[in-house]
Amino acid sequence: MFFHAHPDDEAIFTGGTIAALATQGHHVVVVVATGGEGGTPVDGTASLGRHRAAETRAACAHLGVARVEFLGYRDSGIAAPGEPLAVDSFALADVETAARRLAAILADERAGALVHDDEGGIYGHADHLAVHRIGRRAAELAGIATVYEATVDREYLHFVETHLVSLAALSLPEPAPTGVPTVLLTTTIDVTAHLATKRAAMAAHASQIPPDSAVLGLDPATFAAVYGYEWYVRTGPPGLLDRLAM
């Protein structure tokens, strides 16, 4: 099971891994915490959350996901320093309540492993930090021994074209370091064999990654250099993702 904060996170950070697992016949579930209402609005769309949910289902169809669930929390957005978050924002969600909801899905699916964001929320967004807190607690409640924290290799990204996570980090009022140093990674997966699928899943989120975006305009070699690897920090015994690792 993959637990993400917003629509499109599943494609950007873990799309190649999901596609690899699905290709091997594994049952993959994606749970998204929010509707992504804090994203770029779409003209003529009454509900951005519903629009982005449809995009997520289309992306997950490309990736081979068996089940997609939305917890229905509000996207916390990016608040200015000193500006309070909306009271129903995911970042303010009660950890125990949200974790029990996620744990119920884990139990229903008899999941063998859970993927959630790293301790720093990959790039420091409040909703990604909440995914870490709630995912960690849900794994405890459901008795999931193997947990992978989705992240990026901070050092590797210095040597390639700009990654979407770097742009996201710059959008925060107080940018935080992205990902983790190379030495802390436990699991690096080469997903170049599934790049066409990953790119199609990213493109399905057209409201946030439009066809004329810089990322979709990258030549194949550069796209592979930036998005051809996915990174994790594992706790617990080795699991399926380790079998995909380099």
Identity of the amino acid at 171? S
pLDDT for the residue 80 = 73
Distance between CA atoms of 153 and 230, rounded to whole angstroms? Answer: 8
Distance between CA atoms of 184 and 26, rounded to whole angstroms? Answer: 27
Whether the CB-CB separation of 151 and 180 falls below 8 Å is answered with: yes
Whether the CB-CB separation of 60 and 229 falls below 8 Å is answered with: no
pLDDT for the residue 79 = 79
Q: What is the dihedral of CA 216, 232, 130, 170, to 10 degrees?
A: -40
What is the residue-level pLDDT of the chain in tens, covering all 246 positions? 999 999 999 999 999 999 999 999 999 999 999 999 989 888 767 799 999 999 999 999 999 999 999 999 999 998 777 788 888 999 999 999 999 999 999 999 999 999 999 999 999 999 999 999 999 999 999 999 999 999 999 999 999 999 999 999 988 988 889 999 999 999 999 999 999 999 999 999 999 999 999 999 999 999 999 999 999 999 999 999 999 997
Distance between CA atoms of 94 and 47, rounded to whole angstroms? Answer: 25
Q: Map tokens 């950007």 to a residue.
A: 12
- Burial group, residue 161, by CB count within 10 angstroms (0-12, 13-18, 19+): middle
pLDDT for the residue 246 = 74
Residues 6+ apart with CB under 8 A from 174: 81, 124
Tokens at 66, concatenated: 């068996």
Whether the CB-CB separation of 241 and 234 falls below 8 Å is answered with: yes
pLDDT for the residue 38 = 87
Distance between CA atoms of 209 and 24, rounded to whole angstroms? Answer: 28
pLDDT for the residue 169 = 93
pLDDT for the residue 245 = 94
Q: Please, what are the domains in the chain? A: 2-244 (3.40.50.10320)
Distance between CA atoms of 210 and 230, rounded to whole angstroms? Answer: 22
Whether the CB-CB separation of 233 and 136 falls below 8 Å is answered with: no
**Which H or E element spans position 232?**
strand 229-235
Please provide residue 219's backbone torsions phi and psi, each rounded to the nearest 5 degrees: -70, 160
Which of helix, strand or coil describes residue 158? helix
Adjacent-strand bridge partners of 188: 231
**Which H or E element spans position 116?**
strand 113-117
